[in-house]
Structure 1
Amino acid sequence: MPRKKKQECKGIPGWLVSFGDLMSLLLTFFILLFSMGTISLEKFHMVIKGITESLGGRKIIHEEKILNTSNIEVEFPEMYMKLKKKRNKLQKDLNRLEQLLEKAGIEAEVEKHGSIIRFRLNTERMFPSGSATPYKEVVPLLLEVCKRLKETQFPITIEGHTDNTPIRFKSNLELSAERALSVLKLFKSCGYPDRLLSARGYGEYRPLVPNDTPENRAKNRRIEIVIDTSG
């Protein structure tokens, strides 16, 4: 009997040949780019040195370290110590301000969430009902708050909040925004840097407690000074 011819191997698809050529060309192109690229170690060293020193780091970076290793140890003891001192001072000042405001009949509370500190002030004795103009006797207290916070120079956002009771002429959202702006203007007048100030109004949309009783509605009428201590 005649022997059967062995089946020849199938050829590779035509698209695979083109794909292989494309990958080879791309690899050659990137190798060419890499070979043409140069790094100025002197400029790189100057940039890293400048960033490190501006952040309070020690001058421990040398050209030899850049040449011999990819991991450069950088320490920032001055920066961390300064930030820690500022946070400790802020906490003490807020505790004193809380006591000062409580004596004046204004309920105050300090609440901390990570690097964010909320200094919460009840507006029951800060503003007349439906008004964004603070009582005259409250203005010196708010300026004292600004004076203490200004020493630490942390960014702050002043938030206005109300209950859900309808008011005449303006909405609760507008009222909360105007109250926040009134406090912000007082902070500007005492010299707090503009770049660190912002204001927001939330109306009745972020209540602390349900607006189902007069006591709860009173709690929700507040100004919150949100302090970002992340540095």
Structure 2
Amino acid sequence: MPRKKKEECKKMPGWLISFGDLMSLLLTFFILLFSMGTISLEKFHMVIKGVTESLGGRKIYLEQKLLNQSNVPLEFPDMYPKIKRKKKLLRSLSEIQNRLQKEGIEAEIIQHGSIIRFRLNTDRFFPPGSATPYPQAIPLIFDICRKMKEARFTVIIEGHTDNTPIRSGRFRSNLELSAERALSVLKMFLQCGYPENLLAARGYGPYRPIAPNDTPENRAKNRRVEFVIDAS
């Protein structure tokens, strides 16, 4: 019967393999920390320069004496242009809102994240059952367009009505009336010079009320045009 060969070396304990892997991971971790803690100051300032200029900040001219400083002075006059345009647009809409309310026209500004809704009651803008604006309402619509055009955001013009059955021979339903009113406002925006690729029109008729259609006051709230501005 053949003899079993004696093992020259004893087998390595199982725990030692795991321990070796752990030590390797720790060594890698500390090498990574060390490499992150020895960043080239010159390269770091060059990264700051590139990021600053790409975000609209003023150009930074790095000199040798600047590289020896611990703090880099940065100026951001044009930082986050969309945020600045959004703030300017909100100020303009607030001015229009005050002007309209002085003339007895209900207007409301609603914000949901990056979406701004500028809501207008249409009783003083369109005759009942018509999509042709009153003559005195046309300058107001053009003024709204000029204020929005400065920001150059995407605008969706929505038309809404109450649930009162329509008695106009031209339109078969409130849905058609609301869509035609939104399209009428969109055409005036195009005449005003608003970019065509930033405009859209939708009609919802009575299907998206903001108040129950149970009183004359609530039905008036639902007769509206909304400018949905995407400021993202």
Whether these two folds match at TM > 0.5 is yes
- Please give the per-residue CA displacement for 1:166-192, whole angstroms capped at 9, x wherever unaligned: 012320000000000010011000000
**1:183 equivalent in structure 2:** 185
The match for 1:167 is: 166
Task: Write the deviation string for residues 50-75 of structure 1: whole angstroms up to 9, x where unpaired.
Answer: xx98775899xxxxxxxxxxxxxxxx
Query: Which residue identity is paired with 1:184?
Result: L
Q: C-alpha root-mean-square deviation of aligned residues, in Å?
A: 2.4
- State the Cα distance separating 1:86 from its structure 2 match: 0.4
The residue that corresponds to 2:18 in the other structure is none
Deviation at 1:225, TM superposition (A): 0.4
Q: What secondary structure sits across from 1:188 in the alignment?
A: helix
Does the alignment pair 1:221 with 2:223? yes
What is the rounded CA distance, in whole Å, between the counterparts of 1:88 and 1:224 in structure 2? Answer: 19
3-state SS of 1:225 partner: strand
Provide the C-alpha distance between the structure 1 equivalents of 2:176 and 2:55, rounded to a whole number of angstroms: 41
Would the alpha carbon gap of residues 162 and 57 (structure 1) be closer, same or farther in structure 2, given more than 3 Å must change? same
Whether the 8 Å contact between 2:176 and 2:205 is mirrored in structure 1 is yes
How far did residue 105 of structure 1 move? 2.0
Question: Partner of 1:127: helix, strand, or coil?
Answer: coil
CA distance in 2, matches of 1:96, 1:225: 16
In structure 1, give the amino acid aligned to 2:104: G
Of stretches 124-133 and 99-108 in structure 1, the one that deviates more from structure 2 is: 99-108
Whether the aligned pair in 1 keeps the contact of 2:55 and 2:80 (CA below 8 Å) is no
SS of residue paired to 1:223: strand
Number of aligned residues: 166
Q: Which one-letter code corresponds to 1:90 in the other structure?
A: L
C-alpha separation in 1, matches of 2:120 and 2:126: 11
Q: Percent identity?
A: 64
Q: Deviations over 1:141-185 (max 9, x none)?
A: 100000010001000000000000001232000000000001001
Distance change (3 Å), C-alpha of 1:53 and 1:194: farther
Q: Secondary structure at the match of 2:140?
A: helix
Task: Confirm or deny that 1:206 pairs with 2:208.
Answer: yes
Give SS of 1:117's match.
strand
For residue 111 of structure 1, what is the aligned residue in structure 2? Answer: 110
Per the alignment, residue 197 of structure 2 pairs with 195
Q: Which amino acid aligns with 2:231?
A: T
Q: Which secondary structure does the structure 2 equivalent of 1:217 belong to?
A: helix
Q: What is the TM-score when the length of structure 2 is the normalising length? A: 0.66
State the shift of 1:81 in Å: 2.3
Q: 1: CA distance between counterparts of 2:55 and 2:94?
A: 29
* Residue of structure 1 in register with 2:136 after alignment: 137
C-alpha contact 2:158 2:204 (8 A) present in aligned 1: yes
Runs of 5+ consecutive residues of structure 2 not aligned to the other structure: 1-51, 60-75
* Aligned partners of 2:55 and 2:79 also within 8 Å: no
5+ residue gaps, structure 1, are 1-51, 60-76
Partner of 1:202, secondary structure, is strand
1:197-227 Cα distance to aligned partner (Å, 9 max, x none): 0000000000001111111111000000000
Structure 1 residue runs of 4 or more that deviate by more than 6 Å after TM superposition: 52-55
Separation in 1 of the partners of 2:102 and 2:189?
22
Residue 79 of structure 1: how far off its partner (Å): 7.1
Please name the residue that 2:155 is paired with.
156
Residues 76-119 of structure 1 deviation map (CA, whole Å, 9 limit, x = unaligned): x6875211210110110010000111122211000000000000
Paired residue type of 1:229: A
